[in-house]
Amino acid sequence: DIQMTQSPSSVSASVGDRVTITCRASQGISSRLAWYQQKPGKAPKLLIYAASSLQSGVPSRFSGSGSGTDFTLTISSLQPEDFASYFCQQANNFPWTFGQGTKVEIK
């Protein structure tokens, strides 16, 4: 199985900060990587697919990059509604696997 390692596991940041979350795959996954946001008590929401494509309706402050084994989710200017958990997920091979998550907290 492909292991997805996210870092950091948590980050404290202020409104307006630039936040970067990384995800590393244990083997190459081309660009078959997605990013999700999850708020407490809610289902996850797709932010980025195919490593860098912004899902419809998602604010442009979210961006994704990378291919192969190393990927990044960037929030260019953190907004109050962005405090949540974020997960990466690979879809290159079954079983699809998720990173362990990154919690973005208020500093």
Binding site for other proteins (CB under 8 A): 1, 32, 34, 36, 38, 43-46, 49-50, 53, 55, 87, 89, 91-92, 94-101
Distance CA 46, CA 70 (A): 19
Distances in whole angstroms, Cα of residue 107 to Cα of each of 11, 16, 25, 64, 80: 9, 11, 29, 23, 11
For residue 66, the minimal CB distance to other proteins (Å) is 15
For residue 53, the minimal CB distance to other proteins (Å) is 8
Between 9 and 77, CB nearer to other proteins: 9
Between 68 and 101, CB nearer to other proteins: 101
Between 17 and 54, CB nearer to other proteins: 54
CB atoms within 10 A of CB 50: 13
Nearest to 53 by CA among 31, 21, 70, 84: 31
